[in-house]
A and B are shown apart, each in its own frame.
Chain A
């Protein structure tokens, strides 16, 4: 039973089968992401009511919060995929983990930039050492570390496994980092107005907000899948199906 399960798992995680299955997934998730995001952002940025305390500047949460959520979720996903790769030696997990790094890093960067844009009208400066922004900054550093480690290694396989270990150490550390930063922040300067701690949201804000989150996740899914597919083509140049696929792609153009 267990053996059969493992065999099934191995087959499903073979790069070739993944490459075939993922094509429709990318299509549908990107279509859904575009549709949902278009509705959510138009609604949120244009039609949702003005917030009582923060005025119009609160609208940035429709981008800020989903990207912040995603950057943390992707880091967790990278660590899990790294663990899967290390334990079961599944190459696909490493490929996907590697290609998730730039996605997660750009989400963290987006969260930081939108946080700064929100900070200007609210706090009067672009940057405040707010607990959330600070831990997001540390998360961005963790991503950059993963990326730098990957790039430093001569053999990709070594980079995969080294980065997996670093991601696991990081994921254990992440809650401690968040906890410590919150504590440090409350000791030094209690911020009166916190980003993302809006009072209970009105339903006309909540719906586009939730939709934006779903839309971001779907977009990241499509992005991650297509990056992973490219990584497969790049990393397995000797597999016959990869060569055939590349020939086809070449002749189509």
Chain B
């Protein structure tokens, strides 16, 4: 399968502490890379480095190495779900979702947005200001992005602890969704303390690798 990300000899030092060094890996289409390691192992930093929000000290990150066009920051093809959920509290779930799409330059029919919100169980809340929602519901607003039918434009998910603060059924639903996405040729790089069982999942332990 086509390689979408190749990382070579990454090294990261933060506040005089070496988080990882000489870290190399590849991610292909249809693959789920599960980053593991205890708290403070540098999982979040690595993800942020991959999407270009943090500069790692050394190493090379190459997205779509087989593409002839040299995409340095192919961010339009990535959904990045961070610790901070990127949910604006003064806006409704619908507005939040639409804004995320706008930033990626994607226009979708309204019905698709409603569908995604319905899938994560926010139907009936779509026009309520997000600060009136519970913490769990606010997380779902952020995660609703993953349920939008945009596989053509967005082929990579970078997910930082997407399964925390969700109830059991929501965890199950999101795992299913991640597997479906990978099954359709998407690539997922994620951190989680939950395990996902599938042939598509490959684990990378930062503690051992670094």
Q: Mark B143-178, 1 if CB is under 8 A from A, else 0.
A: 000000000000000000000000000000000000
Query: Contact string, B5-36, partner A, CB cutoff 8 A, digits 1/0?
Result: 00000000001100000000000000000000
Residues of chain A lying within 8 A (CB to CB) of residue B16: 236-238
A253: B residues at CB distance < 8 A? none
* Interface check A155, CB cutoff 8 A: yes
What is the predominant secondary structure among interface residues of chain B facing chain A? loop
Please name all residues of chain B whose beta carbon is closer than 8 Å to the beta carbon of A236 when the two chains form the complex: 16
Instruction: Indicate the size class of the contact surface on chain B.
Output: under 10
Main secondary structure of the interface of A (DSSP, over half): loop
- For B15, the chain A residues whose CB sits under 8 A away are 155
| Residues 232-253 of A contacting B (Cβ, < 8 Å) | 236-238
* Nearest CB of chain A from residue B57's CB, rounded to whole Å: 8
Kindly identify, within residues 209 to 241 of chain A, every residue whose CB is under 8 Å from any CB belonging to chain B.
236-238
By a CB distance below 8 angstroms, the chain B residues around A155 are 15
Q: Determine the residue in chain A with the shortest Cβ distance to B16.
A: A238
The smallest C-beta distance from A240 to any residue of chain B, in angstroms, reads: 12
CA distance A213 to B40 in the complex (A): 52
Least distance between A143 CB and chain B CB atoms (Å): 27
Nearest-neighbour CB distance to chain A for B44, whole angstroms, equals 16
Chain B residues lying within 8 Å of A89, measured Cβ to Cβ, are 55
Q: Which residue of A lies closest to B57 (CB)?
A: A89
Q: Which of B21-80 contact A (CB under 8 A)?
A: 55
Give the complex CA separation of A237 and B17 in angstroms: 11
In the assembled complex, how far is the CB of residue A243 from the closest CB belonging to chain B, in whole angstroms? Answer: 12
Closest to A155 in B: B15
Q: In the complex, what's the smallest C-beta–C-beta distance from A182 to chain B, in angstroms?
A: 42
Least CB distance from B52 to A in Å reads 16
**Closest residue of chain A to B17, judged by CB?**
A238
Inter-chain CA distance A155–B16, complex, in Å, is 12
Q: How far does the Cβ of A212 sit from chain B's closest Cβ, in whole Å?
A: 43
Residues of B within 8 A of A (CB): 15-16, 55
Q: Can you list 5 residue pairs at the A/B interface with Cβ under 8 Å? A: A89-B55, A155-B15, A236-B16, A237-B16, A238-B16
| Interchain residue pairs A-B with the least CB separation, the first 5 | A238-B16, A237-B16, A155-B15, A236-B16, A89-B55
